[in-house]
């Protein structure tokens, strides 16, 4: 998946800026941080730092996931925000389109995950060595053999939403790793980080940042 890396040539989409924070809407197809090798150097972090040299990484989104990503402008903000993610205090909401029509309105997936070493970066369910992973979901609407859902991760494991939806029989559309057949035949991964709620590093005020779903 790395040899054909062709990141979108789109301008930075700044959602919020203040003395401690920068918030951007990351496009699908752009790495959050550099990969190994010069051909994988272009990423949201490098683009942000070209405009804001002081910007510091706080968290990541998968390359093919779009949506809200927050950066710190000071070491204090980076530590403060990092702890919120570590302690699961940052509240994330995603929108996804998945294969099949989900009958129930809401549900929870509680399946432990760990890297699938022979096939990394893929992750898989492992009840013996996997780390706890929990995702709540809610149906938005059913769309001709697919379902639009909101996903509320309670943990932040790698590929968590993608594996969890596959495991309940509804892989995310366009997922190059976990969808198969017609579910894979979409122009992009249909997963978008719609909103993120954090406490501001300067004073602790609750703030929610959002980016409209592009699909």
Catalytic residues: 62
Structure tokens at 11: 């301008």
Q: Alpha carbon of 119 to those of 115, 146, 203: distances in Å?
A: 8, 28, 44
Report d(CA 83, CA 103) in Å as an integer: 37
What is the Cα 179 distance to its own chain's centre? 17
> Which of the 8 DSSP states describes residue 59?
-
């Amino acid at each position: 998946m790395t040899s054909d890396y062709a990141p979108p040539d789109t301008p930075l989409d700044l959602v919020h800026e203040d003395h401690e924070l920068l918030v951007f809407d990351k496009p699908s197809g752009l790495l959050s941080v550099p990969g190994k090798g010069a051909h994988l150097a272009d990423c949201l972090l490098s683009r942000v730092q070209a405009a804001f040299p002081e910007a510091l990484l706080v968290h990541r989104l998968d390359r093919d996931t779009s949506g809200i990503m927050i950066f710190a402008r000071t070491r204090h903000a980076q530590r403060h925000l990092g702890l919120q993610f570590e302690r699961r205090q940052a509240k994330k909401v995603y929108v996804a389109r998945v294969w099949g029509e989900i009958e129930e309105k809401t549900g929870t997936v509680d399946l432990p995950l760990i890297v699938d070493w022979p096939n990394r970066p893929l992750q898989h369910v492992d009840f013996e060595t996997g780390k706890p992973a929990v995702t709540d979901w809610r149906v938005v609407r059913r769309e001709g053999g697919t379902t639009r859902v909101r996903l509320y991760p309670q943990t932040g494991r790698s590929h968590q939403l993608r594996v969890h939806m596959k495991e309940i029989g509804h892989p995310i559309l366009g997922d190059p790793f976990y969808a198969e057949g017609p579910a894979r035949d979409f122009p992009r991964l249909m997963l978008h980080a719609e909103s993120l709620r954090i406490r501001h590093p300067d004073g602790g005020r609750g703030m929610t940042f959002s980016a409209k779903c592009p699909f």
